[in-house]
């Protein structure tokens, strides 16, 4: 290959479809102001369920962003993903068909699939008969739907993949994309968007012992406090464009950040005390890959599960991995304002980290006061700070732990 | 038994419902010899339309129906089948 | 800087053969395991046939909790993983848990269980506002696809990267491919890799009915899966699992392991064409094959066998034939290419891993498994499909290829132990 390559994976595009914003700017405005948008669930057929509060993506008009022929054959989770991918590609100046289709790949993480579409088709099958199941059930419900449709819609023939992991899979997908770029693919569209707020999908989540079932949106999700009572789910997510940094410079587009290091570990389902060691291992591994010393971390975007044992494990893991710096570095969890969108959650955190570095501002952790762990959790108001390197943490309900180190991009992106 | 005939209007509505394709019924009629893919209708879309018609009229359409290339060919086959069934 | 990746263990749960020995006996004999569906009453469906596993979890030493609560596809995976790890000779107690990874694929995950409980909570499809009190309290384990990799990781105390891969019908190849990258690039020394699916359920059969992808040859199920044959009329659903132990070559050698073969290349591309449709040119699959050959610095003429996706749909077999001809050129006509789906059906995400295991066995036995039921040549499929009878052959480098809904086109290259030069 004659192309010059840096081997570093730069983020050049961001697309967000989140409960607190349908664009990157709207999302950042809400995050930086620490607004809370958690609310009682309004989606049809969900009102009677003992899961009352969530982060819903409201006023999302898929038809404004995705063509009808794609909408009829896909679930809401793919609508989100296709919309976010298009926003990210436009942001990166890569809208339209690529000159070399094999130079652009797609990888998404998926933890809940096309549940609403699936429920509708199950209803036809069991209520009316097998002949009433439509032709799109075979391509809408499965976890690979979003990657496939993004690839088709954009004419993207590069390496395509799907990590169907728990929440930490969102960070794994970013690492997957960064490695594909290092192996020689020019551009990767990467991220996750989920739509788990349909009646049957919600029933399927009720068994998670970590789920918050409180019906007060301001109190349902308060990690790192003595009032922590679980997490609040959300829908939506984000997709990014990641490409070789050298190439981004040649294209003359702003580099919004660099995916510098990642590591993942596994410490067992719901064994949260053990996640301390797993998360610390992941942080150390990600720092190693990034060539970063613990003191270089300027801000930590916490997993913030909201389960006391898990919160304690995370606070201790940060201290274990970062040493004394772990108690001084600002830690934040903006997702308390809009919920955890499963695999989409750590991708939205990564977006928040990139924007925090661009703006020199650590966003706060909404609804959280009286922190009961030895970390410097940023609450109430955003805190100005010079931020060069951020650490994003994620743990999954099935036992995965992941850490991602992202570096600040060009000053021109700010 | 009602004698039924699937019209261009009905086909256009089905293309919208089953495949998300917006097409004016008059245009569909005028371009009835054009291949389905020129309207943006793919194989899954046509399968969906076949399934919907089968359920609507309680009749089986021949296996060739989803291989029809044009609206004219498709409607001719569908309507001759429905007539024979009636 | 990448490391060589050895295969040191294999395990399989396949229709007609649980365990690698029984599985290979089936393939070598060219027997088919396709039959009328017994797992549920298929009345009313267009395709009422499948390749089912005669599988009793209690017979395979699974603990009571796994036997009673785990989904069938999880049970398959655990049984296959135990066989693979046993064969590898790894002492999981002395492995570095942080350097032990898991990468498992599944196309549809816990769908069968999800459908089962859906029927209860919806009163057989009568309610949209489903009644949660009728659901299994552990239903979340069927909902989240990562239960697969997590459950297997727990079995062996793996604490490294644990991932579940879901790229439709290439999930198995891609899970092996991700594992290959994980070991080759040094993120783990050992990776338990493979895939599992148990999709023989009303909703999955009905969704393939709706697109007429499955064979309606209900009267002759034993001969219904006919890849590359002119009379092929769709794939036959299957189920099962296969798992491989992938290991850093030096790690395996240092502990004196029996190295079964090496994984010497992996690539995947999207066709960006259609979620289910395939072109007749096969450009993207050819690109994946070319890429694996590049990685191994291998001339196409060195390929001794192609394990085909060979699903038995009209478009797939034509597509794949074109892709292999594009990559191997004239050598394609001299290279046997067979589809074991003729015998064990198409188990969606699992089949890619089952086919990789078939390639490992083919290399070990120096025998090419046949394409059962192949009788009538199709002018559009004009390669050597190894009709009906297994064939002894010197095998050093073999390819396994696959296509999946979503446009995924993947290839894995395997090289016999010691056969690879660098």
pLDDT of residue B67 exceeding 80, the answer is yes
Is pLDDT of C255 > 50?
yes
Does the pLDDT of residue A4 top 80, yes or no?
no
Encoding tokens for residue A340? 């955890």
Chain C neighbors of A269, CB-CB under 8 A: 150, 154
CA-nearest of A162, A149, A144 to A82 is A149
B13 touches chain A (CB under 8 A): no
pLDDT the model gives residue C1: 65
Please check the confidence at residue C114 and state whether its pLDDT lies above 70.
Answer: yes
The CATH homologous superfamily for domain A261-408 is: Thiolase/Chalcone synthase (3.40.47.10)
State the pairing for strand pair A104-109/A39-40. Answer: unpaired
Nearest Cα to Cα of residue C252 among C422, C3, C79, C36: C3
Give the distance from residue C265's alpha carbon to the nearest chain A alpha carbon, in angstroms.
13
Radius of gyration of chain C, Cα coordinates, nearest whole angstrom: 20
pLDDT over 90 (residue A30) = yes
* Rounded-to-integer distance, Cα B15 and Cα C73, Å: 38
pLDDT of B53 reads 95
**What is the assigned CATH class of domain C5-110+145-416?**
alpha beta
Q: Write out the DSSP string of C319-358.
A: HHHHHHHHHHGGGGGGS-EE-THHHH-B-TTTHHHHHHHH
Q: What is the Cα–Cα distance from A68 to A63, expressed in whole angstroms?
A: 6
Overall size of chain A counted in residues? 414
Would you say residue A412 has pLDDT above 60?
Answer: no
On the question of pLDDT at A242 being above 50, the answer is yes
Q: Which tens digit of pLDDT belongs to each residue from A140-191?
A: 999 999 999 999 999 999 999 999 989 999 999 999 999 999 999 999 999 9
Query: Contact, C176 vs C412, CB < 8 A?
Result: yes
CB–CB of B21 and A139 under 8 A?
Answer: no
Where in chain A is CATH 3.40.47.10? 9-251, 261-408
Residue of A185, A266, A401 to mutate when probing chain C, most C C-beta within 10 A: A266
| Cα dihedral B7→B13→B15→B18 (10° resolution) | -120
pLDDT reported for residue B4: 73
Helices and strands in chain B, H and E counts = 4, 0
Question: Which strand (E) or helix (H) includes residue A161?
Answer: strand A160-163
Q: State the average pLDDT for chain B.
A: 92
A133 touches chain C (CB under 8 A): yes
The pLDDT mean for chain A works out to 96
Residue positions counted in chain B: 86
- Please give the Cα distance from C334 to C331 (Å, whole number): 5
Domains annotated for chain B, with CATH where assigned, are 8-85 (1.10.1200.10)
- Predicted TM-score (pTM) of the model is 0.97
Q: What is the mean pLDDT of residues C134-163?
A: 97
Q: How many CB atoms lie within 10 A of CB A277?
A: 18
The secondary structure of residue B41, as a DSSP letter, is -
**pLDDT of residue B29 exceeding 50:** yes
**How far lies C124's CA from each of A43, A127, C48, C210, C261, in Å?**
22, 6, 21, 20, 49
DSSP letters for A336-402: GGT-B-TTHHHHHHHHHHHHHHHHTEE---TT--SB-SSSEE--SS-EE---SEEEEEEE-TTSEEE
Mean pLDDT over residues A97-106, rounded?
Answer: 96
pLDDT at position B3 is: 60
Q: What is the per-residue pLDDT for C421?
A: 38
All residues at 6 or more sequence positions from B35 whose CB lies less than 8 Å from its CB, including other chains: B69, B70
A359-386 per-position pLDDT tens digit: 999 999 999 999 999 999 999 999 999 9
**Residue A81 and residue A344: Cα distance in Å, rounded?**
10
Q: What is the mean pLDDT of residues C385-399?
A: 98
Residues in chain C: 422
Residue whose C-alpha is closest to residue C302's, from C326, C338, C335: C335
Q: Which residues contact B34 (CB under 8 A, 6 or more apart)?
A: B70, B71
Question: From the list B42, B47, B63, which residue is nearest C210 (CB)?
Answer: B47
Q: Which residues contact C176 (CB under 8 A, 6 or more apart)?
A: C103, C193, C194, C195, C244, C246, C263, C266, C352, C353, C356, C412
CA distance A57 to A17: 8
Residues 148-207 of C with CB under 8 A from A: 149-150, 153-154, 158-168, 171, 174, 178, 181, 185, 187, 202-203, 205-207
pLDDT number for residue B63:
86
Rounded to an integer, what distance in angstroms lies between the CA atom of residue A401 and that of residue A303?
9
pLDDT for position C64? 94
Q: Do C314 and C352 touch, CB atoms closer than 8 A?
A: no
**HSE-up of residue A138 (Cα within 13 Å, Cβ side):** 26
Please tell me the distance from the alpha carbon of residue C331 to that of residue C399, in angstroms, as a whole number: 14
Residue B64, pLDDT above cutoff 90: no
Q: Considering only CA atoms, which of A87, A18, A99 is closest in space to residue A342?
A: A18
Q: Which of A187, A249, A250 is nearest to A412 (CA)?
A: A249
* Rounded Cα gap, residues C47 and C267, in angstroms: 33
Q: Is C188 exposed, middle or buried (0-12, 13-18, 19+ CB in 10 A)?
A: buried
Query: Are B47 and C276 within 8 A, CB to CB?
Result: no
| A332-366 pLDDT, tens digit each | 999 999 999 999 999 999 999 999 999 999 999 99
SS3 helix, strand, coil % of chain B, rounded to 5? 65, 0, 35
Do A69 and B54 lie within an 8 Å CB cutoff? no
Residues of C annotated as catalytic (active site), given as ranges: 169, 309, 346
In C, minimum Cα distance to B47 occurs at: C211
- What average pLDDT score do residues C264-276 get? 96
pLDDT higher than 60, residue B2: no
Q: How many CA atoms lie within 13 A of C29 on its CB side?
A: 12
Task: Please give the Cα distance from B44 to B21 (Å, whole number).
Answer: 12
Kindly determine whether residue A131 and residue B55, on different chains, have CB atoms separated by under 8 Å.
yes
Measured between beta carbons, the chain B residues lying within 8 angstroms of C274 are: 42-43
Neighbouring chains of A at 3+ CB pairs within 8 Å?
B, C
Residue A120: name the closest of C276, C207, C239 by CA: C207
pLDDT computed for residue A411 by the predictor:
60
CATH class of A9-251: alpha beta
pLDDT tens per residue across span C301-359: 999 999 999 999 999 999 999 999 999 999 999 999 999 999 999 999 999 999 999 99
Distance CA A54, CA A58 (A): 11
Asked if B10 has any chain A CB less than 8 Å from its own CB, the reply is no
Distance CA C71, CA C48 (A): 22
Contacts of B67 (CB under 8 A, 6+ apart): none
| For residue C188, pLDDT beyond 70 | yes
Contact residues on chain A for B18, CB-CB shorter than 8 A: 72, 134
Q: Rounded CA gap, B62 and A125, in Å?
A: 22
CA angle A150, A151, A157 (to 5 degrees): 160
* pLDDT value, residue A362: 98
pLDDT in tens, C363-378: 999 999 999 999 999 9
Residue C218 at interface with chain A, using a CB cutoff of 8 Å: no
What's the mean pLDDT in C262-274?
97
* B positions 36-65 inside 8 Å of A (CB): 40, 44-45, 47-48, 51, 54-55
Q: What angle do CA A148, A28, A356 make, to 5 degrees?
A: 100
Does B42 sit within 8 Å of C211, measured CB to CB? Answer: no
pLDDT tier at C422, thresholds 50, 70, 90: very low
Per-residue confidence band for A1, with pLDDT thresholds at 50, 70 and 90: very low
User: Distance between CA C339 and CA C345 in Å, rounded?
Assistant: 10
The nearest alpha carbon in chain B to C216 belongs to: B63
A13: β partners = A241
Tens digits of per-residue pLDDT, C51-79?
Answer: 999 999 999 989 999 999 999 999 999 99
Residues 6+ apart with CB under 8 A from A351: A14, A16, A24, A27, A238, A240
- Which helix (H) or strand (E) segment holds residue B30: the answer is helix B25-30
């Amino acid at each position: 290959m004659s192309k010059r390559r840096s081997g570093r994976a730069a983020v050049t595009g961001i697309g967000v479809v989140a409960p607190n914003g349908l664009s990157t700017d709207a999302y950042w405005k809400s995050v930086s102001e620490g607004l809370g948008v958690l609310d009682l669930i309004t989606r049809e057929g969900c009102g009677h369920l003992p899961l009352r509060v969530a982060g819903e993506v409201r006023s999302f008009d898929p038809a404004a962003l995705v063509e009808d022929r794609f909408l009829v054959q896909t679930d809401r989770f793919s609508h989100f993903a296709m919309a976010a991918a298009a926003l990210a590609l436009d942001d990166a100046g890569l809208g339209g068909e690529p000159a070399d289709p094999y130079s652009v790949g797609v990888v998404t993480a998926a933890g809940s699939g096309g549940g609403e579409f699936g429920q509708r088709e199950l209803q036809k099958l069991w209520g009316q008969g097998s002949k009433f199941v439509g032709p799109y059930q075979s391509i809408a419900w499965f976890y690979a739907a979003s990657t496939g449709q993004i690839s088709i819609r954009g004419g993207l023939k590069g390496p395509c993949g799907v990590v169907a992991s728990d929440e930490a899979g969102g960070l794994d997908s970013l690492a997957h994309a960064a490695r594909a770029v290092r192996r020689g693919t020019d551009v990767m569209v990467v991220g996750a968007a989920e739509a788990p707020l349909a009646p049957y999908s919600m029933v399927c989540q009720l068994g998670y012992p970590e789920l918050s079932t409180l019906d007060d949106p301001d109190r349902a999700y308060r990690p790192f406090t003595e009032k922590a009572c679980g997490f609040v789910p959300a829908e939506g997510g984000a997709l990014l464009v990641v490409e070789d940094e050298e190439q981004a410079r040649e294209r003359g587009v702003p580099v919004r950040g660099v995916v510098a290091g990642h590591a993942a570990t596994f410490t067992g389902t719901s064994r949260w005390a053990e996640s301390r060691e797993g998360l610390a291992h992941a942080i150390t591994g990600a720092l190693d890959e990034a060539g970063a010393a613990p003191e270089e971390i300027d801000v930590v975007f916490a997993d913030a599960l909201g389960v006391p044992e898990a919160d304690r494990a995370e606070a201790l893991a940060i201290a274990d991995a970062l040493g004394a710096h772990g108690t001084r570095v600002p830690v934040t969890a903006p997702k308390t304002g809009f919920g955890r969108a499963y695999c989409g959650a750590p991708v939205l955190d990564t977006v928040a980290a990139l924007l925090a570095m661009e703006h020199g501002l650590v966003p706060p952790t909404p609804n959280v006061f009286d922190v009961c762990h030895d970390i410097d959790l940023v609450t109430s108001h955003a805190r100005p700070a010079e931020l060069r390197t951020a650490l994003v943490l994620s743990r999954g309900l099935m036992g995965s732990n992941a850490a991602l180190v992202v570096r600040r991009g060009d000053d021109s992106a700010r | 038994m009602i004698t039924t005939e699937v019209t261009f209007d009905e086909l256009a509505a089905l293309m919208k419902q089953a495949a998300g394709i917006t097409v004016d019924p008059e245009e569909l009629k005028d371009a009835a010899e054009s291949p389905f893919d020129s309207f943006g209708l793919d194989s899954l879309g046509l399968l969906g339309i076949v399934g919907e018609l089968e359920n609507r009229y309680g009749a089986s359409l021949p296996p060739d129906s989803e291989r029809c290339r044009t609206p004219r060919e498709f409607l001719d086959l569908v309507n001759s089948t429905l007539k024979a069934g009636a | 800087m990448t490391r060589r990746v050895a295969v040191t263990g294999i395990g399989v749960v396949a229709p007609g053969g649980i365990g690698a020995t029984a599985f290979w006996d089936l393939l070598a004999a060219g027997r088919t395991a396709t039959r009328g569906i017994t797992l549920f009453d298929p009345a009313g469906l267009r395709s009422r046939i499948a390749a089912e596993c005669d599988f009793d979890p209690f017979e395979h030493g699974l603990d009571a909790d796994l036997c009673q609560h785990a989904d069938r596809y999880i049970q398959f995976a655990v049984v296959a993983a135990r066989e693979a790890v046993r064969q590898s000779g790894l002492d999981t107690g002395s492995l570095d848990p942080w350097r032990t990874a898991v990468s498992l694929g599944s196309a549809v995950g816990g769908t069968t269980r999800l459908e089962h409980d859906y029927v209860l909570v919806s009163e057989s499809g009568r309610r949209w506002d489903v009644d949660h009190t009728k659901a299994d309290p552990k239903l979340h384990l069927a909902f989240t696809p990562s239960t697969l990799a997590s459950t297997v990781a727990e079995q062996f105390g793996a604490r490294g990267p644990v991932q579940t891969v879901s790229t439709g019908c290439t999930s198995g190849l891609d899970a092996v491919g991700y594992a290959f990258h994980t070991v080759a690039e040094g993120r783990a020394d050992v990776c338990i890799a493979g895939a599992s699916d148990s999709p023989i359920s009303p909703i999955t059969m009905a969704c393939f009915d709706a697109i007429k992808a499955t064979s309606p040859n209900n009267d002759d199920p034993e001969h219904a899966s006919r890849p590359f044959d002119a009379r092929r009329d769709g794939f036959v659903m299957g189920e099962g699992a296969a798992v491989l132990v992938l290991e850093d070559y030096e790690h395996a050698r240092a502990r004196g392991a029996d190295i079964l073969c090496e994984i010497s290349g992996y690539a995947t591309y999207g066709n960006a064409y259609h979620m289910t449709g395939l072109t007749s040119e096969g450009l993207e699959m050819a690109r994946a094959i070319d890429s694996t050959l590049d990685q191994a610095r291998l001339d196409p003429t060195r390929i001794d066998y192609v394990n085909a996706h060979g699903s038995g749909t009209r478009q797939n077999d034509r597509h794949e034939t074109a892709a292999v001809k594009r990559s191997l050129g004239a050598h394609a006509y001299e290279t046997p290419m067979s589809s074991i789906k003729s015998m064990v059906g198409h188990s969606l995400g699992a089949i890619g891993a089952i086919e990789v295991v078939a390639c490992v066995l083919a290399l070990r036995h120096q025998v090419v498994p046949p394409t059962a039921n192949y009788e009538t040549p199709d002018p559009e499929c004009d390669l050597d499909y190894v009709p009906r009878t297994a064939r002894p052959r010197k095998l050093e480098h073999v390819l396994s290829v696959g296509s999946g809904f979503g446009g995924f086109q993947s290839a894995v290259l395997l090289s016999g132990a010691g056969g690879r030069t660098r």
